[in-house]
Amino acid sequence: MKKIILASTSTLYNGDYLEYLFPTLKNHFANCKTLLFIPYAKPGGISHNDYTKKVSETFLKINISVKGIHEFENTIEAIQNAEAIFTGGGNTFLLVSQLYKNDLMSVLKQTIESGTPYLGTSAGSNIGGMTMNTTNDMPIVLPESFNTLELIPFNLNPHYLDPIEGSAHMGETRETRIKEFHNVSSIPVLGLREGSWLEILDSKITLKGNLTARWFEQSKIPVEINPESDMSF
């Protein structure tokens, strides 16, 4: 059975890293003693070692030891043999580029769909969708493909932001950018606000957290999805 969490963010407000997800993660990773971390997104250019150290210190709080995928000689076997997997946030273009460069996209998909518990935050959640085309990140590298894990039958826009009422800023809103995407693609998009996440158990997809999420379909008016809604449609 698939066990997947796709979270908009790793850190909420002034909390510690992943702190707001701890109650969920304890259950999600129950009986897991080790976790494979994929640090390829490198937020702010942080090194793989430093990123893995940060994640390791966090997961020690729930008694799980962490090892980064870059520490393994055979990265394909590392994924196949993992008790649990976490892909952290950062730059989605860099993450996807590295997954393809190391021939890991398909094996990661197969391993997750076979039942290995998976956690993604930000970029690590973005790759859970059909494609990475609704990321917010700068295209600092060119991946082999924009196709991603297809763990859910739509795309995600993590860190979704609503327009600020009364603001004089004349730049594009997230809704505008998603409408631009829907000029060239019919893939639905879920705008996932901070503090929200998707829980996927086998074929059931549930919106979690205290906030609504914004659902976009091509040529349709966006709608709000309430917490605990079943999104398996």
Known active-site residue 162 = no
Residue 183, token pair as written in the block: 């000029």
Whether the CB-CB separation of 152 and 124 falls below 8 Å is answered with no
Catalytic residue among 70, 97, 125, 137: 137
Residue 15, token pair as written in the block: 């909390």
Catalytic residue among 8, 97, 122, 196: 122
Known active-site residue 122 = yes
| Full DSSP string of the chain | --EEEEES-S--TTPPTTGGGHHHHHHHTTT--EEEEE-TT-GGG--HHHHHHHHHHHHGGGT-EEEEGGG-S-HHHHHHT-S-EEE--S-HHHHHHHHHHTT-HHHHHHHHHTT--EEEETHHHHTTSSBSTT--S---S--S-SB---SSSSEEEET--PPPTT----S--HHHHHHHHTTT----EEEE-TT-EEEEETTEEEEESSS-EEEE-TTS--EEE-TT-B---
> Whose CA is closest to 155, among 176, 132, 180, 185?
132
Catalytic residue among 10, 159, 182, 196: 159
Which positions are catalytic?
122, 137, 159
